[in-house]
Amino acid sequence: MSNLEQEILRHERRWTAGVIIAVAVILGAVLYAAFALHVNPPSNIETIDPKTLHLSAEFTESNLGTRVEAGGQVTTRIVTAQFAFNPQCIVVPANEPVTLRLASPDVIHGILVTGTNVNSMVVPGYVSQIRTVFTKTGDLLMPCHEFCGFGHSQMWATVRVVPRENFRPDANGRVACEKS
Amino acid sequence: MRSLERLTLAHLWVAFAAFAIACFFGVWQMWARSPLPAPFVTPDNYFLAVTEHGVSMAFVLTTFFVMGFGYFTAETALERPLPGKTFGWIGFILGLIGAAMASYAILSGRASVLYTFYPPLTASPYFYLGLVLVIVGSWIWCVLMIVAMAQWKRANPNVPVPLAMFGTVANAIMWLWTTAGVAAEVLFIVLPASLGLIHTIDVGLTRTLFSWTLHPIVYFWLFPAYIAFYTMAPKAAGGRLYSDLMGRLSFVLFILYSLPVGFHHLFMDPQEPAGFKFLQMFLTLLVTVPTLLTIFTITASFEIAGRLRGGRGLFGWIPALPWERPMVLATGLSFVMLFFGGGGGLVNMGYGLNAMVHNTSWVTAHFHLIFGGAVVVMYFAIAYEIWPRLVGHEPSSSMPQRIQLWLWFLGMMTMSLPWHWLGLQGQWRRVAQFDYSNPIIAAWGPWVVVSLIGGLLLLASALLFVWNLLFLYRKPEAARLPFRFALPVHPVTHVPASLNGFGLWNVLVAFLMLAAFGWPIAQAFVIEAPHAVVHRVDRGG
């Protein structure tokens, strides 16, 4: 092989090594986030029939919204349907683990909460579940972020994050937004 | 030889006509979303426009451009007539009828389901049948490309297939794999629902099948740009390709790692197991490798060209390059957009980071920058490069071409950089109008207006592009020379058999696809997820 060819090969090897290192560093960061910080995407293979969602024990109207469960765990249940969330406003305590559970009776929806990393699709047939901690108090936007029909742009809800002392469950453990 | 020019021009004109129309829709959409008062804004019109923009750009512009450029490359790179041109015309006509059917369904308001379908939303059957015809037309192209290469190899035993053709056939083979997912979704689920044969849909399964297609389809669009990087840009710069082997390696790595990775579109979906999301995330990370190899090889090729032209010192070769040539300029601009778009893409594929940006304007910004920017700017450059050969005339000046390329670059940056920022603020996608009375949303307003200005620059550039093709090529050619691709620094006399064909790579793809998608598809049948009821968008009203 000529000198030039040797030189090309040497440069290519060096660059390839750099590429491998870059890929390894990124993969290391992902692994660290996944295993040390528990940052994982919201997989939840738990099926529910969209056609009879309103008859299910969990997603009937009276069971929607935020509730403090027997063990003290705060769970919020939301139905995402064309073209509104039910309920339209949810209350959650700040700096405490909260579980969001969502289901759709009709088409695909999705949610994000502005200023947080809460993000999930809501696929009819499955219950979406997100565990999170809200750290900032105030009213956050929770829009439907997946095209669900012509009313999609009008589909959004409010997440009201309140300090622990203002989070007051009623006798059944429920907390709802005050009518204002 | 005239027949090749006709076939290529027919494809490219369909592609660019769809492109120009789609640009108008795109700008109007941004106007509708901005705080400025816009005409015709209703949700129906908005989602009709989004569907038409997406279908025109992602299915018509791309497919017809890839096919036209492929026919051109097959004949010019192999230096022998393309076999089966009649079939090429049949594919063209099928695709054209299909595109017209789909557009008819969309523009009559009966297919506003966006180009990504979203079942159980269900559109008019004309929409899906039209898209099936476009895909069938492209399958004919795939077969013709594979046959052309096979015949050439038989006539030239033990000779490496020219790199431009190797890349084209790599794309054809990747596209056959790619379309299997969406074809299964449309033929077995979505089209029967549209025809009223079935009334419920396993939505999770449709999402899994669509994700099979959703990532490699982007690489199908991108391949012509990479073929131009390797086989046109070094020559336009006045140099040679640094390494022919790197080109081959990049092309086969695209086949391998663009296919088993679609789950990075479904990170936020409940129905896919976390382990498979992780596996496909890892494979997605590997698809950065061919791009990084390409950036090295093309930069090195440009360095050679710059030094041949007298450039000295560490960076002196850069100003020495002939930036006045559209192909060289476009490659430079493309790399800048690839840098930003690729960086954004690394965030998207971040297994945990994705939650910050999924379905926000960040993602829209990412794919506009990568596809609309880095790739489409190369479509322009390819058209400028091969047009003299197609119409038999040289451009009277390259100035309007350079202005057009710069306008596109500036427009794309002005449009998509604010979108990245807005996405991080939580601005979500696919919304006809925002409620700017909300204080969170009101703060986004000025940036939305900035991106609209970017959109206007893009529209101006698109119109100038069409004008350039129509009116700039008037200077008679001095002599009708055959079209030549870039030569490597070292002539390739032989390459390993694995890099002169695709047998090995097909086996590996089959294995990777089985590993990545086997269980997720089987899962739908094992757990028997409850179905959702079909929601028609084409009836009533």
Task: Count Cβ–Cβ pairs < 8 Å, chain A vs chain B.
Answer: 199
CB contact under 8 Å between B426 and A141, yes or no, is yes
Residue of B nearest to A27 (CA): B282
CA angle B362, B368, B372 (to 5 degrees): 170
Closest CA to B204 of A79, A111, A42, A123: A123
Q: Which of A13, A45, A118, A142 to mutate to test the interface with B (most CBs of B within 10 A)?
A: A45
Q: Which amino acid makes up residue A127?
A: V
Using the predicted structure, report yes or no on whether residue B540 has a pLDDT greater than 70: no
Are A101 and A77 contacting, i.e. CB atoms less than 8 angstroms apart? Answer: yes
Are B135 and B62 contacting, i.e. CB atoms less than 8 angstroms apart? Answer: no
Using the predicted structure, report yes or no on whether residue B187 has a pLDDT greater than 70: yes
CB contact under 8 Å between A51 and B530, yes or no, is yes
Catalytic annotation present for B490: no
Question: What is the average per-residue pLDDT within B252-261?
Answer: 95
Using the predicted structure, report yes or no on whether residue A148 has a pLDDT greater than 90: yes
Chain B residues near residue A110 by CB distance under 8 angstroms: 268, 358-359
Which of B215, B248, B264, B358 is labelled catalytic? B215
Nearest-by-Cβ selection for A125 from B113, B438, B530: B530
* The CATH number fitting domain A50-175, selected from 3.40.50.1220, 2.60.40.420, 3.50.50.60, 3.40.50.720: 2.60.40.420
A67 min Cα distance to partner chain B (Å): 22
Question: What is the average per-residue pLDDT within B496-510?
Answer: 95
Which of B307, B309, B429, B531 is labelled catalytic? B429
Q: Where are the alpha helices (DSSP H) in chain A?
A: 3-35
The whole-angstrom separation of Cα A31 and Cα A33 is 5
Residue found under tokens 């180009």: B115
A48 min Cα distance to partner chain B (Å): 7
Catalytic annotation present for B351: no
Cβ partners under 8 Å of residue B238, min gap 6:
B305, B308, B309, B321, B322
Confidence band (pLDDT; 50, 70, 90) for A57? Answer: confident
Q: Return the sign of the alpha-carbon dihedral for residues B139, B134, B167, B263.
A: negative
Q: Which of B205, B271, B287, B490 to mutate to test the interface with A (most CBs of A within 10 A)?
A: B271
A138 CB within 8 Å of a chain B CB: no
Chain A residues near residue B203 by CB distance under 8 angstroms: 108, 123-125
Nearest-by-Cβ selection for A107 from B112, B429, B535: B535
Residue found under tokens 């090529």: B473
Can you read off the two tokens belonging to residue A76?
């919020």
Chain A residues near residue B277 by CB distance under 8 angstroms: 41, 43
Using the predicted structure, report yes or no on whether residue B211 has a pLDDT greater than 90: yes
Catalytic annotation present for B430: yes
CB contact under 8 Å between B300 and A149, yes or no, is no
DSSP three-state, residue B28 = helix
Q: Where are the alpha helices (DSSP H) in B240-287?
A: 244-258, 274-286
Question: Can you give the pLDDT at residue A44?
Answer: 96
Using the predicted structure, report yes or no on whether residue A1 has a pLDDT greater than 60: no
Nearest-by-Cβ selection for A153 from B246, B433, B527: B433
Residue of A nearest to B531 (CA): A125
Express each pLDDT in A72-109 by its tens digit. 999 999 999 999 999 999 999 999 999 999 999 999 99
CB contact under 8 Å between A40 and B346, yes or no, is no
* Segments making up each domain of chain A, as ranges: 1-40, 50-175
DSSP three-state, residue B474 = strand
Q: Which of B268, B289, B304, B356 to mutate to test the interface with A (most CBs of A within 10 A)?
A: B268
B444 min Cα distance to partner chain A (Å): 12
% chain B with pLDDT above 70: 99
Which of B210, B302, B367, B409 is labelled catalytic? B367
CB contact under 8 Å between B120 and A107, yes or no, is yes
Question: Can you give the pLDDT at residue B541?
Answer: 44
Residue of A nearest to B43 (CA): A150
Question: Can you give the pLDDT at residue A180?
Answer: 56
Chain B residues near residue A146 by CB distance under 8 angstroms: 118, 359, 430
Q: Which of B122, B269, B281, B427 to mutate to test the interface with A (most CBs of A within 10 A)?
A: B269
The whole-angstrom separation of Cα B97 and Cα B298 is 39
Using the predicted structure, report yes or no on whether residue A176 has a pLDDT greater than 60: yes
Q: Where are the alpha helices (DSSP H) in B156-243?
A: 163-185, 191-194, 203-214, 216-231, 233-236
Can you read off the two tokens belonging to residue B120?
């159980």
**A 62-91 residues with CB < 8 A to B:** 82
Catalytic annotation present for B366: yes
In this structure, chain A runs to a length of 180
Chain A residues near residue B112 by CB distance under 8 angstroms: 150
The ipTM, to two decimals, is: 0.94
Catalytic annotation present for B539: no
Confidence band (pLDDT; 50, 70, 90) for B193? Answer: very high
The rounded Cα B259 to chain-centroid distance in angstroms is 14
Question: Can you give the pLDDT at residue B510?
Answer: 97
In this structure, chain B runs to a length of 541
Using the predicted structure, report yes or no on whether residue B480 has a pLDDT greater than 90: no
Closest CA to A96 of A63, A71, A120, A79: A71
Confidence band (pLDDT; 50, 70, 90) for A5? Answer: confident
- Name the pTM for this structure: 0.96
The whole-angstrom separation of Cα B256 and Cα B509 is 6
Residue of B nearest to A147 (CA): B430
Which of B16, B25, B72, B219 is labelled catalytic? B219
CB contact under 8 Å between A120 and B296, yes or no, is no
Catalytic annotation present for B219: yes
% chain B with pLDDT above 90: 94
The whole-angstrom separation of Cα B346 and Cα B479 is 47
A103 min Cα distance to partner chain B (Å): 10
